[in-house]
Structure 1
């Protein structure tokens, strides 16, 4: 026996598995521990790596089990004297360092999905579980007891940070370990020091223990459960061999993506190894969907979900990377995801291989937050919560990715994370409308600057006191005036002396060269008084109108006044003619026509969103 690490207090005999502890200069045998079971871990004792520019060496190895197969934890000692642990979970590695004891923190109340603040950082609890040490090798920092069932809580923080609370057999005061999630290459271990991955070759061509049907396991080193496609038997694989658990109801539908099919998504070739049928019931109506488990040796597991012809590619994510207001919104990667729905998801049928102890009847609270075409999905059970980031895929993308010969079902209805097909068109419409509006304003400015806007006549007219309304006695002729070019005409009529009366002006512009007459009529009225509510007034002392463009030439304005017959009195008004004035009517018509396109695009886009959110059961929570 040899202690080579200064931090080690226990060493496991490589020959007889006796646990030997040292206390000063004395040594004690503390019984025997199980021998390490070969797993798919690439790590091994003695391997040397480098992290944050500091070298380290793996000096100890524990295997723990919670009843569903062992997982590996590796004890490491750094060149600078620090120690830590590398833990493995479903192909992921976490390097953790001891951070003391959190006194007063109870195990009770630390439920998956809950948030806590510890060591000046916010964490999200992903798992609460327990297990015992079943085997060990090498040098370890403390004694191991295979009879103890220890509790732990795992949590994640932002940017890959990781937290483990080790309660042991206590109800509070856990040991705190903090660190981060790393990829295998980030451990800094040379490829020559990595162990060839163990292969359960005997399971690749196994037979169902219930019906003796041939089974082809596609990820035998990762799978814990296999559902037989022939008889529906659920088989356990955690101990390296198949053992019958129970019969399940076989899926009523054939998977659209066959088990064993390979497809490229997100730049990775995935292997389809599992198929689930899950459902939820809302107001007495069952809503089923399908989930396909995809596997890649380096990237691990991911999911492809299908519902009513819609597909979503789901990638695992750390809960700590998401800021969550439960039932309201999620914030991830500078994007806000609005809560869409929350249901109880039930697993109905199982086919293929799975990395957890799957079984029919499993229930989880599933919550979906959407920012089309993306989504954040939270599945929570009593012991664990998992977060996935989804991206909506068109059926054609899935068909091409897996090389499927048959066409996939056409989408029905609107999926929660389906991108709004009118949104991109709306953006383009608004862009082009803005450009046309700018052009319209430039054109209007050009015509305004180019217009003469010249007053060609200002006439003060007095109607004689004895004149009769609408007769030649109320008629007046102006002096001739010249229009040098073709242009429109703006007519302004005003009568400052008008009081509780009205005055109508019939005007005629007579072209002296051609005799052509262009007429107009403008009526002025102004009334005022007082009543129980105070003073009031209505009408106006002035009015204006625009005439169509007139050809050049010499003109005379003829006006004829109309009014109420009454006591004889003179009536006076003013007439002003402005030639070639800016005319905004065409601008208004063009402006309105240009707004029709954006209005229609906005209407279609809003209609799509209204139809989408009509299916939400959390839409009112925002």
Structure 2
């Protein structure tokens, strides 16, 4: 049966598996999943044919759900379908958005945030997925992109109506390319030529969404289980969690494949006590954030034996997604994953993103040594990456590279007192002070006479050092081990 719905023609017919009504709201939808018996059906003219059965959905407790509606770039859309994929780092979800009956877009997860993408036609053939090396640059439709990830993925379940349907359980390559304009190009290589979608970052609050899933829905089922190491109860609170730590024995537990089966875990010793407790809520940059994860990391510059450490707090806001509050020797900063990929000079000394140039400050190998809380990627103790940190005044940019993924984050430096105040820890603000705040705090407590005396002493020391240097005829070099302000371990990507 067909009926007119606004500007488009909806279609409804009985499911060939159970007889329940299956509805197609978008003219672009060729497949659907019966909400009653999970039959996968294909639309052939005015009839439906059953082609299989879909696996149960993995409940990700997302605020999104079918038939939630919103607006993007002034155009209304409705979420009519959902695809769930798995890859070695866990799972992610793509929501099918029907825009005007003639077009469908994708609202997808992207490093704890969201990207809205539209289909794009490839004007010339692209390189095979096997030849797209992470970190390499390539041109697509006249635009230069950096290969950000290249993973083998598998469709595991689906819901609603779908414009395309990869073979269930059959792995295929999914490649993501990003550019310095903040865009992400996704290539689904289950077809030839690949399906291509071009997107940009969006905030759920800016999409004016209605019909979102109520937060109380999480409490109806809950996701709690016994720790596989010590048996203590562990509760999963976040929609995107792929790793969580036991609060009793500190084991890291992999929940990327769900909690119904055998859970992998790794024990860790020597817990590090964070300054800001897990679960704390604070207002930073006008947004209320909750601390949901914590990790301690160590860095080492290539060819140098000296190590330096820093802490990262994973922050969560239901509408904004995730950000990182970084505590390093050279100060506090707040950063978030970028949707695009900055263009970096071949030497690595400079990077450019959204029209702004940055100078490299540090280049180093990084390792995660301790974690606590929940994470939207599959975090592991001992994870290693190669990082580059850049700066332009207070603006920060950081690159992190692993074998299969290249991620960038951007943000800005923060005053230590503002961080303490945000989490109502003013009484402990002295514990938040770092090297960047030392000169200001010291000068504020000194009189003019003290400052003049210090200047005279420094002047005399400079004369002595200059004399010694002239006599020895040698030279000296220095390096800073002040730590990182942008490193983070983002195992989850849009694909």
Tell me the residue number matched to 2:264.
Answer: 245
Contact preservation (8 Å) 1:200, 1:240: no
Partner Cα distance (1:78, 1:314) in 2: 32
Tell me the residue number matched to 2:298.
Answer: 279
Q: For residues 199 and 240 of structure 1, do their structure 2 counterparts lie closer, same or farther at Cα, with a shift above 3 Å needed?
A: farther
For this pair of structures, how many residues does the alignment match?
426
Tell me the residue number matched to 2:404.
Answer: 383
Q: Offset of 1:199 from its aligned partner?
A: 1.4
Tell me the residue number matched to 1:588.
Answer: none
Contact preservation (8 Å) 1:61, 1:74: yes
1:342 equivalent in alignment to 2:348: no
Q: Secondary structure at the match of 1:366?
A: strand
Q: Secondary structure at the match of 1:76?
A: strand
Q: Offset of 1:167 from its aligned partner?
A: 1.0
Contact preservation (8 Å) 2:27, 2:101: no
Tell me the residue number matched to 1:177.
Answer: 197
Q: Secondary structure at the match of 1:36?
A: coil
Tell me the residue number matched to 1:165.
Answer: 187
Q: For residues 59 and 400 of structure 1, do their structure 2 counterparts lie closer, same or farther at Cα, with a shift above 3 Å needed?
A: closer
Q: For residues 343 and 5 of structure 1, do their structure 2 counterparts lie closer, same or farther at Cα, with a shift above 3 Å needed?
A: same
Contact preservation (8 Å) 2:323, 2:336: yes
Q: Offset of 1:613 from its aligned partner?
A: 7.0
Q: Offset of 1:362 from its aligned partner?
A: 0.5
Q: Secondary structure at the match of 2:422?
A: helix
State which structure, 1 or 2, has the greater radius of gyration over its C-alpha atoms. Answer: 1
Q: For residues 344 and 97 of structure 1, do their structure 2 counterparts lie closer, same or farther at Cα, with a shift above 3 Å needed?
A: same
Q: For residues 168 and 419 of structure 1, do their structure 2 counterparts lie closer, same or farther at Cα, with a shift above 3 Å needed?
A: farther
Tell me the residue number matched to 1:117.
Answer: 139
Match of 2:283 among 255, 264, 288: 264
Contact preservation (8 Å) 2:98, 2:105: yes
Instruction: Normalising by structure 2, report the TM-score.
Output: 0.75
Q: Offset of 1:355 from its aligned partner?
A: 1.1
Contact preservation (8 Å) 1:309, 1:410: no
Match of 1:223 among 241, 246, 252: 241
Q: For residues 398 and 185 of structure 1, do their structure 2 counterparts lie closer, same or farther at Cα, with a shift above 3 Å needed?
A: closer
Instruction: Normalising by structure 1, report the TM-score.
Output: 0.61
Q: For residues 54 and 371 of structure 1, do their structure 2 counterparts lie closer, same or farther at Cα, with a shift above 3 Å needed?
A: closer
Partner Cα distance (1:390, 1:107) in 2: 32
Tell me the residue number matched to 1:615.
Answer: 480
Tell me the residue number matched to 1:134.
Answer: 156
Q: For residues 196 and 112 of structure 1, do their structure 2 counterparts lie closer, same or farther at Cα, with a shift above 3 Å needed?
A: farther
Partner Cα distance (2:74, 2:283) in 1: 36
Q: Deviations over 1:305-330 (max 9, x none)?
A: 2233732222322334x332251112
Q: Offset of 1:244 from its aligned partner?
A: 4.1
Q: For residues 408 and 13 of structure 1, do their structure 2 counterparts lie closer, same or farther at Cα, with a shift above 3 Å needed?
A: same
Q: Secondary structure at the match of 2:27?
A: coil
Q: Deviations over 1:450-500 (max 9, x none)?
A: xxxxxxxxxxxxxxxxxxxxxxxxxxxxxxxxxxxxxxxxxxxxxxxxxxx
Structure 1: gaps (5+ residues): 426-595, 604-610, 618-622
Contact preservation (8 Å) 2:41, 2:48: yes
Tell me the residue number matched to 1:105.
Answer: 127
1:356 equivalent in alignment to 2:377: yes
Q: Offset of 1:358 from its aligned partner?
A: 0.3
Q: Deviations over 1:128-166 (max 9, x none)?
A: 223222112222223442121121112333554331111
Partner Cα distance (2:116, 2:327) in 1: 36
Tell me the residue number matched to 2:115.
Answer: 94
Tell me the residue number matched to 2:344.
Answer: 324
Q: Offset of 1:368 from its aligned partner?
A: 0.8
After superposition, the CA RMSD in angstroms is 3.5
Q: For residues 103 and 271 of structure 1, do their structure 2 counterparts lie closer, same or farther at Cα, with a shift above 3 Å needed?
A: same
Q: For residues 316 and 8 of structure 1, do their structure 2 counterparts lie closer, same or farther at Cα, with a shift above 3 Å needed?
A: closer
Contact preservation (8 Å) 1:61, 1:138: yes
Contact preservation (8 Å) 2:335, 2:412: yes
Partner Cα distance (1:141, 1:214) in 2: 42
Contact preservation (8 Å) 2:116, 2:199: yes
Tell me the residue number matched to 2:490.
Answer: none
Partner Cα distance (1:387, 1:78) in 2: 30
Tell me the residue number matched to 2:428.
Answer: 406
Match of 1:59 among 70, 75, 80: 80
Partner Cα distance (1:30, 1:247) in 2: 41
1:234 equivalent in alignment to 2:255: no
1:301 equivalent in alignment to 2:319: no
